[in-house]
Structure 1
Amino acid sequence: MRSEIIAVGSEMLTPHRQDTNSLFLTEKLNELGVTVAFKTIVGDRRKDLVNAFRTALGRVDIVVVMGGLGPTEDDLTREAVAETLGLKLRRDGTQVAALAARAATWRMPMPDNNLKQADVIEGATVIPNANGSAPGQWLDTTHEGFRKLIMLVPGPPSECKPLFESEVMPRLREVVPIRYLAKRTLKAAMIPESQADKLLAPTYTTYTDVETTILAHNGDIQLELHCVKKDQEQAQKRVDELASKLEELLEDWLYSSDGETLEQIVLYYLGLRQATLAVAESCTGGLVAERITGVPGSSRSFLGGAVVYSNALKTHFADVPAELIEHHGAVSEEVARALAEGIRKRTGATIGLSVTGIAGPTGATETKPVGLVYIAVSDAQKTDVLERTFRGPRARVREWTAQQALDLVRRRLMQLETVHIS
């Protein structure tokens, strides 16, 4: 079955507020084998709401509407859904009493406009809201000859999520045909999205029963594989079969077959090799260390390091000769190499990682443009330096650089068999 999630509220069409419920709702619907085909955000105009509801009913089996159930003039979800279906609203006496009782507990008079929260669409079942005044509503109805399930849920996350979990999910389980969702997440680093799709599309497009989505962000490619079948084992078998073929095609770009982050994988290999890591960061300003230390237990393998932004600190913390910086410049292959070797020896780490570059928007020269970075990885056997130029604003250059740096460490650790410390 296919579904649509509609978030109601003009505030979510501004730069200041966003829908935070739909990911949760998607996860819950997926648990039942229900595909979320569309997500819509619509403002608080009745005409727009009716158009959105009518469109949804014409293309999916299940419509989840969140928000617009409050007591104010712009809370129009009930009215718009009723108009779309050609149904009337009735004022439910039980809900009126519940609203009055709730107001009494606050020892305050109930404004008349609160009563609209007791208006129920003809044929709907009231869904109790234990965490707020606006109840939800459930409709199992027919629209243009097709069965439709419609549920209205409150917008605030503290009300929406518990109500959907405790009240809506049991109802859905009773009426939704039993289907099972299997999914896998593959991740690859530093392969362009277009190259990944060219490489993988001839394979994944042959699996018409597996939905494959490619997501790209700052040097990270994420492949989402979803398959829905009547049997869980069959669904998982199809997903795993496709995942195995894609893993072979991705070769050493692939770093995760089950959704782990790149920093988690780096720490996994550090632990496997009984190795340690230290970093000397300039243009990334500690971003690499922040990602690594965001993983619980990272202290077992990550010794730490230094943000060596100034030339003086490059010398003080990583023993980079001042004359080397003066001769080649702080952003250079030679300084990156010295930084990685210096921080490794100063800390006693198995691997030293360094980053130096020009994140911009200033600091560029004719020979060293904005986005130029040097990343070095050093162990007791060798030191490798990679030169890259990343395009875009300062934040993007820094994030791509951190991703590239972690991937270089991962690749070195995959090659490392014997631990050497010097």
Structure 2
Amino acid sequence: MDFNAEIISVGSELLLGQILNTNAQFLSKELALLGINVYHHTAVGDNAYRMKNVIQNAQERANFIILTGGLGPTKDDVTKQTLAKLLQAELVYDKDALTKIMNYFKKANRTMTENNRKQALVIKGAHVLENKTGMAPGMVYVHNEIIYILLPGPPHELQPMFLNEVKPFLHKQGYLSHFIISRVLRFYGIGESQLESELEDLIENQTNPTIAPLATRGEVTIRLTARGKTEKEVNELLDKEEKKVLERTGRYFYGYDSTSLPLEVSKLLEQKNLRIASAESLTGGLFSQLLTKVSGAGSIFNGGIVSYTDEVKENILQVPRDILQRDGAVSSNCALKMAENVRDLLQADIGISFTGVAGPSKSENKEIGTVFIGLAFKKEPTVVYPLNLVGSRDTIRKSSANYGFYYLLKHLKKGE
């Protein structure tokens, strides 16, 4: 059966601009992966009359209607009541949900007010969706060949309910004849146009899986999407296509799905039991900031020195004065000494350094975008990577930090 879906987001706070409608975005992505077309998004306030009109409009153009929000205990939570009245269905208490709510208040040593019982109401005959991260259950109800799915509004409740309750139910009931799975491959150090050029014939001849390149925030991703009758079949198709892609572009590949360069670096440093220290000039501590955003950074990061002046480079990082006078602070030799010395000063296994010209004007007669990144591993020759970057001052600084993670990741993966 082909489904045309409409997502109805309930909540006056959405219309007032007080919160972003991230639920609709999440559900649209998930439904696309299931092969379900989403043709309309609707937002409506906590008003039964207007909600009724919105649902009636959806009934005229969709056979798969998702309502999010309005399942809670307050007077303005009227989603299931409005739908039940419209469909002339009865609301009944779900025993498991009611027991869970009562146990919550008992365990919290709080008095349970009568309106909290309202959260356990479900449409009679509906398939009840357990809420493992909140109180109000969701439900799936089929009426006149239209599937209605009611989900709680908070994203931390809605998302796991859809993934762990709704999707398996739809497959089990035979509503979905195929599995559609996407896999995102992440690349750095290559532009979108170059990546597309490398994969041009694969993109032009794509069928199943499909290949979709996307550039975001200085990096490029490839989304592979495959369809099949079983998960095993789909994953085999994705594996085969991924192999073709990486045979051509693997040197730029660094991870899957929602990972990041700092996260991948952190994981490898932890696996190898290595600690790093940083010396940053043009990046002004940005590398350290990005690394310490990752949970558990204390086990891999000793610290950093922001050496924005030549005096700090010489007196704190102990870069020889003759290098600063002869080659300049923006030089390969300066980056080399910064990396080696911060490693030794902060007693780390690896030192990384950043020096360069971010703008808005030249420095030491060197062009804007001239950057040097040093990597100093113990018992290995120090490597310095020169870069010529373009863009705004902020873009150059961010790109420099990301390239530091990229080169570090490649070095850590050597021999694997």
- 1:372 corresponds to which residue? 369
- 1:185 corresponds to which residue? 184
User: Does the CA-based 8 Å contact 1:331-1:356 persist in structure 2?
Assistant: yes
Q: Does 1:69 align with 2:71?
A: yes
User: Does the CA-based 8 Å contact 2:35-2:180 persist in structure 1?
Assistant: no
How far has the Cα of 1:242 moved from its partner? Answer: 1.0
Q: 2:61 aligns with which of 52, 58, 62?
A: 58
**SS of the residue aligned with 1:306?**
strand
* The 10-residue stretch of structure 1 (168-177 or 127-136) with the greater mean CA deviation from structure 2: 127-136
Shift in CA distance, 80/65, structure 1 to aligned 2, threshold 3 Å = same
* The 10-residue stretch of structure 1 (159-168 or 169-178) with the greater mean CA deviation from structure 2: 159-168
How far has the Cα of 1:120 moved from its partner? Answer: 7.1
Shift in CA distance, 407/137, structure 1 to aligned 2, threshold 3 Å = closer
Q: Which amino acid in structure 2 is aligned with residue 284 of structure 1?
A: T
How far has the Cα of 1:72 moved from its partner? Answer: 6.0
Which deviations, in whole Å up to 9, do the C-alpha atoms of 1:274-331 show, x marking residues without a partner?
A: 9764421234343323444566787777654423244433223321245655677655
CA separation in 2, counterparts of 1:134 and 1:89?
19
Written as runs of structure 1 = structure 2, the 5 A alignment for 1:193-232 is 193-232=192-231
Q: Which amino acid in structure 2 is aligned with residue 365 of structure 1?
A: S
- 1:17 corresponds to which residue? 19
User: Does the CA-based 8 Å contact 1:186-1:259 persist in structure 2?
Assistant: no
- 2:43 corresponds to which residue? 42
CA separation in 1, counterparts of 2:247 and 2:321?
46
CA separation in 1, counterparts of 2:309 and 2:56?
58
How far has the Cα of 1:383 moved from its partner? Answer: 3.8
Structure 2 alignment gaps of length 5 or more:
none
- 1:175 corresponds to which residue? 173
Written as runs of structure 1 = structure 2, the 5 A alignment for 1:204-353 is 204-256=203-255, 261-263=260-262, 265-266=264-265, 277-292=276-291, 304-322=303-321, 324-325=323-324, 330-331=329-330, 335-344=334-343, 346=345, 351-353=350-352
CA separation in 2, counterparts of 1:343 and 1:260?
28
Shift in CA distance, 183/345, structure 1 to aligned 2, threshold 3 Å = same
How far has the Cα of 1:171 moved from its partner? Answer: 4.1
Q: Which amino acid in structure 2 is aligned with residue 214 of structure 1?
A: P
Q: Which amino acid in structure 1 is aligned with residue 208 of structure 2?
A: D
CA separation in 1, counterparts of 2:347 and 2:356?
25
Q: Does 1:138 align with 2:136?
A: no
Shift in CA distance, 306/393, structure 1 to aligned 2, threshold 3 Å = closer
User: Does the CA-based 8 Å contact 1:87-1:122 persist in structure 2?
Assistant: no
CA separation in 2, counterparts of 1:317 and 1:149?
68
CA separation in 2, counterparts of 1:79 and 1:214?
44
**SS of the residue aligned with 2:201?**
helix
How far has the Cα of 1:272 moved from its partner? Answer: 9.1
- 1:87 corresponds to which residue? 87
Q: Compute the TM-score of the two structures, normalised by the length of structure 2.
A: 0.70
RMSD: 5.0
CA separation in 1, counterparts of 2:389 and 2:325?
22
- 2:10 corresponds to which residue? 8
User: Does the CA-based 8 Å contact 2:336-2:382 persist in structure 1?
Assistant: no
Q: Does 1:391 align with 2:391?
A: yes
Shift in CA distance, 393/135, structure 1 to aligned 2, threshold 3 Å = farther
User: Does the CA-based 8 Å contact 1:68-1:74 persist in structure 2?
Assistant: yes
Shift in CA distance, 164/238, structure 1 to aligned 2, threshold 3 Å = closer
User: Does the CA-based 8 Å contact 1:377-1:409 persist in structure 2?
Assistant: no
How far has the Cα of 1:154 moved from its partner? Answer: 1.9
Shift in CA distance, 161/199, structure 1 to aligned 2, threshold 3 Å = closer
How far has the Cα of 1:217 moved from its partner? Answer: 2.9
User: Does the CA-based 8 Å contact 1:180-1:229 persist in structure 2?
Assistant: yes
How far has the Cα of 1:119 moved from its partner? Answer: 8.5
User: Does the CA-based 8 Å contact 2:7-2:67 persist in structure 1?
Assistant: yes
How far has the Cα of 1:244 moved from its partner? Answer: 0.9
Count of residues in Structure 1 that have an aligned counterpart in Structure 2: 399
User: Percent same amino acid among aligned pairs?
Assistant: 28
CA separation in 1, counterparts of 2:232 and 2:407?
37
- 1:420 corresponds to which residue? none
* The 10-residue stretch of structure 1 (65-74 or 45-54) with the greater mean CA deviation from structure 2: 45-54
**SS of the residue aligned with 2:45?**
coil
